[in-house]
């Protein structure tokens, strides 16, 4: 991770196909395309790779979440349960629809705690949104049982975990809908882009319509298409999709390299007394994009993170004080700082995030350090990094 480390002739070839035709939009201009339909090609290939019946490409992972929620009928006043550790896109994608994010604690998976999820369910709850952060998954079996018990939607945010699996199924395909990001720093990239997968024909049709102004996409005359319902513009371009086609062909080799590099780092850190690792639910396999580990205390984690930085070990993250990925840094959400007037449902229903007790999440995040796993490292470079990490951490524990 990320896929831009392996850009090459394959991406250039796909992009040149688009440039030579001159058609950068995914819809229309059939006669000018020279047979190139990059977004359609990506969707078909990605659906097969993810063992799903349908795929809808969109402009970003954030828009994928919004379109997925909208396709399943989530709207104003509906509550969506999400974790305290994620990216800001999670609550943004919910709130743009007028729906209400309900934040709950994480556990040692660094994802949703099923007990906290069940305790947060109300008569307004419509969806549970686990976020498979840093390459590994939530306890999907427990969450699916909760969804079945309460008749709720299970929407997997797999934006950071493409290639991981649970019970033999690709992450994103276990729930009712799954979402992916192909931004510039993801495991595979389109530059900007995202995708929704589902086995529901209804959700697939509605996602296809919603991401393109409500167009029904019936027939070959775009100007004659009808609009069964309102929609917005979350389309991907042919240029972005073209890059994704080449990257998708490289996914298996990327994952193999990530696993090799991850294994070297993890096995070295296992030698450090006091270092433990995030729990991967039974039946799950990470995509190996991050090595996520715990120090014995918050104080030791801070010291270790500083020692790693001083030792020149780059791309190690202490999420607890990160402004984008943990509740502690989301002042704009806590205080509902918005350029426009938020929906009345959000104003009246959202929990008081300045007063909510997230000490259980703090107990895990305060002790967590994550090391990015790059695919451009040679094996020798990974071994050197692992030893440098080991030495830095041992200096404080």
| Residue 12 main-chain phi, psi, to 5 deg | -60, -40
Spatial CA neighbour of 109 closest among 164, 56, 180, 61: 164
Task: Count CB neighbours of 108 within 10 A.
Answer: 16
Task: Count CB neighbours of 8 within 10 A.
Answer: 9
Tokens of 168: 């033999």
Spatial CA neighbour of 387 closest among 256, 264, 295, 290: 264
Helix, strand, coil tally for the chain in percent (to 5):
40, 15, 40
- The secondary structure of residue 22, as a DSSP letter, is T
Residues 10, 54, 112: CA angle, nearest 5 degrees = 95
CB 272 within 8 A of CB 393: yes
Is 186 one of the annotated active-site residues of the chain? yes
DSSP string covering 57-72? EES-HHHHHHHHHHHT
* Pure H helices in the chain: 9-21, 38-49, 61-71, 89-95, 114-120, 140-150, 201-210, 238-249, 251-269, 298-310, 331-334, 344-349, 359-365, 379-394
Tokens of 298: 């918050």
Q: Which of 186, 250, 300, 374 is catalytic?
A: 186
Q: Residues near 173 by Cβ (< 8 Å), separated by ≥ 6? A: 50, 51, 52, 197, 199
Report the alpha-carbon distance of residue 260 to residue 247 in Å, rounded.
19
Place of tokens 């509550």: 79
Which residues carry out catalysis? Answer: 186
């Amino acid at each position: 991770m990320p896929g831009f480390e392996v850009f090459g002739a394959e991406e250039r070839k796909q992009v040149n196909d688009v440039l030579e035709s001159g058609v950068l939009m995914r819809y229309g201009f059939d006669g000018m395309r020279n047979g190139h339909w990059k977004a359609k090609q990506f969707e078909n290939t990605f659906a097969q790779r993810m063992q799903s019946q349908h795929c809808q490409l969109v402009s970003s992972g954030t828009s994928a979440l919004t379109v997925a929620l909208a396709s399943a009928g989530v709207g104003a006043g509906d509550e969506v349960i999400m974790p305290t550790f994620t990216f800001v896109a999670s609550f943004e994608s919910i709130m743009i629809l007028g729906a209400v994010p309900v934040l709950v604690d994480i556990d040692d998976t660094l994802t949703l705690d099923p007990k906290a999820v069940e305790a947060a369910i109300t008569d307004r709850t419509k969806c549970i949104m686990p976020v498979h952060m840093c390459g590994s998954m939530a306890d999907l079996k427990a969450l699916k049982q909760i969804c079945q018990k309460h008749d709720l939607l299970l929407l997997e945010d797999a934006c950071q975990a493409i290639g991981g699996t649970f019970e033999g199924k690709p992450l994103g395909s276990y729930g009712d809908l799954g979402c992916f990001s192909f931004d510039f720093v993801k495991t595979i990239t389109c530059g900007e882009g995202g995708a929704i997968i589902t086995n529901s024909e209804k959700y697939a049709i509605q996602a296809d319509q919603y991401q393109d102004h409500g167009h029904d996409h019936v027939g070959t005359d775009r100007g004659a298409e009808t609009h069964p319902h309102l929609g917005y513009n979350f389309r991907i371009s042919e240029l972005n999709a073209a890059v994704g086609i080449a990257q998708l062909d490289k996914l298996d080799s990327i994952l193999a390299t990530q696993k090799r590099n991850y294994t070297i780092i993890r096995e070295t850190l296992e030698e450090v007394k006091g270092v433990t690792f995030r729990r991967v639910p039974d039946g799950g396999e990470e995509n190996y994009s991050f090595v996520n580990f715990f120090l014995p205390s918050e104080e030791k984690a801070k010291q270790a993170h500083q020692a790693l930085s001083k030792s020149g070990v780059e791309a190690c993250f202490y999420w607890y004080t990160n402004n984008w990925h943990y509740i502690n840094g989301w002042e704009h959400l806590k205080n509902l700082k918005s350029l426009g007037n938020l929906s009345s449902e959000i104003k009246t229903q959202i929990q008081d995030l300045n007063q909510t007790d997230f000490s259980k999440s703090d107990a895990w995040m305060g002790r967590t350090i994550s090391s990015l796993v790059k695919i451009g490292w040679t094996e020798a470079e990974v071994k050197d990094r692992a030893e440098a990490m080991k030495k830095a951490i041992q200096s404080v524990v």
